[in-house]
Amino acid sequence: MANNFFDPDDATIPIQPPKQRHAEQQGQQGQQGQGNFYEPPPPARRPYQYPPSQQQQPPIQGQPPTSMPVSPAARTAPKMNMPPAQPYPAYPPYQQPGRIAETGKASPLPPKQPPKRARRRPRLLIGCLAAVILFFVLVSFIFSTAQRVLAFGAAISPQTPLSTQTGYMNISTRTNLLVMGYGGLGHDGAYLTDSMVVVSVNPLNKHTTLVSVPRDLWIQYPPSSGQYTKINSIYEFGSNFNKNPVAGGDAAAQKISLVTGLNVKYWITINFAGFRDLINSIGGIDVYVPNAFNACYPANDDPNINASWIKIQFNKGTQHMDGETAIRYARAREPLEVCGKGTSMNLAELTDFARSARQQIIIKAVLTKIKQISTWPKLFDAMTALQHTIYTNMSLADLSAFALKMNLSDPHTAHVGLSNQNVLVDSQSSDGQYILLPQNNNWQLITDYVKQHLYN
């Protein structure tokens, strides 16, 4: 049965609005016979207060809080079979990390963070400045090197250094370069090209053929003039003693094309004195001497300085040669009997044909040395020597591409020497000079022989 009495101190009875409570109280009074008269509403509800013995005490640290007060309805309700209440875990009061609680024990500290590295702005700035300086030094070096290379290219050729007439050797047709060597000032016949070698390269497979043309080959020059001379004098006459090297080189290349049947468009001249300096600038060359020989050689290139002779000796095997030794090896052709130095041991090596073969050996050794990485730091000195040594109608870009395509290390590289052992015969000119002519005066024999021996 519900309790109809309002207990202002009973916290379990919900508070009713004042008007409703007033109406209910009037109705109850009417039922009790007290009449319907107005009675002021009860005073506002005061906060719930416990008797002194039941006031809630603050919880003791480490113990669960005391139970909440129970209402009369809850006390009269049937008890349920509930598991016994478990005590609340004790929570320590909040404290800042690192501080000591009232219990005297240190609270656990958060994991230490690794110390932050100090900013290295000064070092970073120095590194950036060093990188910038290095960049500018590198750019300056490349720029100065490029300028020097372009100046070198302009000095050795009438062509613009970076231009091309061969498509930078990216072509399918055979390319032929005539290499002519002369003694230069101070020599007898200073601009007679005693060395004439055609370097023929197939750009597709780098197959290379060297064709040596003997200096004593008797030809008609100027063309259709009825006048004859040795083929080594064409450059001298055509260039007017090196005053017009382009005209001389073109004239020699045209005549070599007629003789060999090769389309020789390009040429390069080499001054032997400068060639000596070139070999010295790259630290000398390693040369394999296939046949031992000795010979007489001028003590000085200029007989006006020293007209005497010296004896030179080359033994079979690999030798390291400086510039002077290499030039002597390439040019020696006088027997010891000429200078009264004894008896020559191998006269076959003193012919023009053997000398042409030795010149090919020297050219191969020089190009092999230049291609070595260890030689590259010396190329600046080599360029200085070459600038006074060579002249060509190829641009620097084309000449470089040609040298890279040329492969003289291939064991199948063809070495073709025109001589009296194959298609030429010895003869004598009307004025008593020693000359060479094609067999039966058939110039087609030379063309066919060269074609048969090309390394395609």
Interacting residues of 145 by C-beta distance below 8 A, sequence separation 6+: none
Interacting residues of 58 by C-beta distance below 8 A, sequence separation 6+: none
pLDDT band at residue 125, thresholds of 50, 70 and 90?
confident
Where in the sequence is the domain holding 224, given as residue range(s)?
A: 153-452
The answer to the question of residue 51 being in a domain is no
In the chain, the percentage of residues whose pLDDT exceeds 90 is 52
Mean pLDDT of the chain: 81
- Looking at per-residue pLDDT, the higher value among 239 and 109 belongs to 239
User: What local confidence, expressed as pLDDT, does residue 6 receive?
Assistant: 47
Please determine, for residue 436, whether its predicted confidence score (pLDDT) is greater than 90: yes
DSSP letter (8 states) at residue 13: S
The answer to the question of residue 13 being in a domain is no
Report pLDDT digits (tens) over 192-222.
Answer: 999 999 999 999 999 999 999 999 999 999 9
Total length of the chain? 456
Looking up residue 371, the CATH number of its domain turns out to be 3.40.630.190
User: What local confidence, expressed as pLDDT, does residue 129 receive?
Assistant: 79
The answer to the question of residue 138 being in a domain is no
pTM across the whole model: 0.70
User: What local confidence, expressed as pLDDT, does residue 84 receive?
Assistant: 58
Pairing of strands 317-321, 285-289: antiparallel
Closest by alpha carbon to 285, among 318, 238, 252?
Answer: 318
Closest by alpha carbon to 292, among 318, 274, 260, 268?
Answer: 318
User: What local confidence, expressed as pLDDT, does residue 101 receive?
Assistant: 47
User: What local confidence, expressed as pLDDT, does residue 30 receive?
Assistant: 45
Please determine, for residue 341, whether its predicted confidence score (pLDDT) is greater than 50: yes
Closest by alpha carbon to 418, among 207, 302, 252, 260?
Answer: 260
Q: Which of 33-37, 262-266, 284-288 has the lowest mean pLDDT?
A: 33-37
The answer to the question of residue 289 being in a domain is yes
| CA gap 191, 210 in Å, rounded | 22
pLDDT band at residue 34, thresholds of 50, 70 and 90?
very low
The answer to the question of residue 387 being in a domain is yes
Please determine, for residue 140, whether its predicted confidence score (pLDDT) is greater than 90: no
Average pLDDT over residues 73-83: 53
CA angle 302, 308, 314 (to 5 degrees): 95
The answer to the question of residue 266 being in a domain is yes
pLDDT band at residue 79, thresholds of 50, 70 and 90?
low
User: What local confidence, expressed as pLDDT, does residue 433 receive?
Assistant: 95
pLDDT band at residue 107, thresholds of 50, 70 and 90?
low
Domains identified in the chain, total number: 1
Question: Are 156 and 388 spatial neighbours (Cβ–Cβ below 8 Å)?
Answer: no
Average pLDDT over residues 81-93: 56
Average pLDDT over residues 12-17: 51
Please determine, for residue 424, whether its predicted confidence score (pLDDT) is greater than 60: yes
Q: What b/e string do you get for 299-314 counting C-beta neighbours within 10 Å, with b at 16 or more?
A: eebeeeeeeebeebeb
User: What local confidence, expressed as pLDDT, does residue 90 receive?
Assistant: 57
Is 290 buried (19+), middle (13-18) or exposed (0-12) by CB count in 10 A? exposed
pLDDT band at residue 381, thresholds of 50, 70 and 90?
confident
Average pLDDT over residues 280-301: 93
User: What local confidence, expressed as pLDDT, does residue 271 receive?
Assistant: 92
| CA gap 216, 214 in Å, rounded | 6
Please determine, for residue 33, whether its predicted confidence score (pLDDT) is greater than 50: no
